Amino acid sequence: MWDMSAAGYRRLGAAGSLAAAAGGWAAGSLPARDPWNLWVPHGTAATAAAAVLAYAGLTLLLAAWWGYGRIAREAPVRETLTTLAWWTAPLLLAPPLYSADVYSYIAQGAMVLEGHDVYTAGPAVLDPGGPGGDAAASVGGHWTHTPAPYGPVFLVLAQAVTWLTGGGTIVPAVLGMRLVAVASLALVVWALRNLARDRGRSESGALWLGALNPLLLMHVVGGMHNDGLMTGLMLAGAVWALRGRWIVGSALIGLAAMVKSPAAVALLFVGVAVARTATGPCARRVAKGLLAPGLVAAAVAVAATLLTGTGFGWLRTQGVAGTIHTALSATSDLGLALGELLHLLLGTDPDPVKAAVQRLGLAVALALIARLAWRSLRGRPDPVHALGLSLLALVALSPMVQPWYLLWGMTAVAATAARDGRATRVLVVLSLALPYETQPSGHTPAYGFALAGAACLLGVWLVRRERSPVGV
């Protein structure tokens, strides 16, 4: 009976993934120019029909994921990995889904290849007829003139993909970036299995929440966001560090931070693990934990920057994403509303008010992270679990929030949380809701928030209805 149920969920999810990918061929984030004439618009009616197909496929995939979660804890790891392969395969040749960010990646890789400084200019500097020109033409409007907020490790990967695909020919370049995304998923899977095994948790349960999750599949495999690579390297570093190889672990986390900077938060919790196992006076142990992992990661960051030749401009571009307003950011929404209210009442400029609220939110997030680190140093919670909660707090209070940012902390929590814990239940509900917020084309229409709200209510009802609805 169990095998039939597992096979049924596998087939249902594969059908959903296939429908989402098929819909993406007309309703996905299509390039502005495709010399191969493969990923091109098919008219308004076809696009609308394809979007409906993609949303229907997403719904089937989410239903299959929820159902599989009810049996995941007892499922053999091989069965869960087979299910993951079935659900991933339809997405491999699809156009970019739910985001146009991959075009920015390719364009930035072309900028490095052409000798441009990606930390002072945006993709608009590329020759429209030269390497990366088609990708630059497909970049979302607010990113066209925006410097890269990514580290040199990711930029050199994007450069390699651009070079290998003949200067960024759009279809091969996108598929090359998808190979990077699939490798990132494989790294996440490896890390989740090892973290769960080391803690006596169900490997299949951890994979269900942290890798089989449709939010990850759609945004890492479908959308090719580099958050997958950052997360995979960060978790791999945590595996090594908590097994006593903290130098290797810190180096991997340093590489992760050279993809996207939030991974640096993990160094604090590697330090906690080092301090908990070190010998000698308490002050010496704490000092070693605070300094040693950071020094290793800093050495990796300097070496990566010098070897790639992209320069240290990444130090000044980490805040560029925060200048873009996203409706999921509570601090930006609150700051904007308060600023506009004061503007109406007092005639003051709303922008400084918004910026002040955003800074306050980050300060609160840092305070929560420090408290979690202190509690973990004293014995509870587990450093990896504390890392996951810290990254979730950082996302919740960040000036810019995207649905896939949830993956930063969720993957760590997946390997450590209790199956019926509060954090797990919240993450399950958000995983059911957030995929609806973004269109397959990458836009965020008003009805996307309505669908996400309805899915959130349904998720709350499902979680409250069953005592153990998830398999972690």
Per-residue pLDDT, 470: 54
Alpha carbon distance 439, 221 (integer Å): 16
Q: What is the pLDDT of residues 230-272, one digit of tens each?
A: 999 999 999 999 998 999 999 999 999 999 999 999 999 999 9
The pLDDT value given to residue 3: 43
For residue 147 the two structure tokens come to 């410097």
Q: Does residue 433 register a pLDDT over 50?
A: yes
Handedness of CA 59, 219, 207, 294 (dihedral sign): negative
Mean pLDDT of 66-92: 94
Tell me: pLDDT of 138 over 90: yes
96 DSSP 8-state letter: P
Instruction: Report the pLDDT value the prediction gives residue 279, as an integer from 0 to 100.
Output: 67
What's the predicted TM-score (pTM) here? Answer: 0.94
Average pLDDT of span 355-372 = 94
Separation CA 22–CA 419 (nearest Å): 34
Quickly list DSSP for 170-226: HHHHHHHHHHHHHHHHHHHHHHHHHHHHHTT--HHHHHHHHTS-HHHIIIIIIS--T
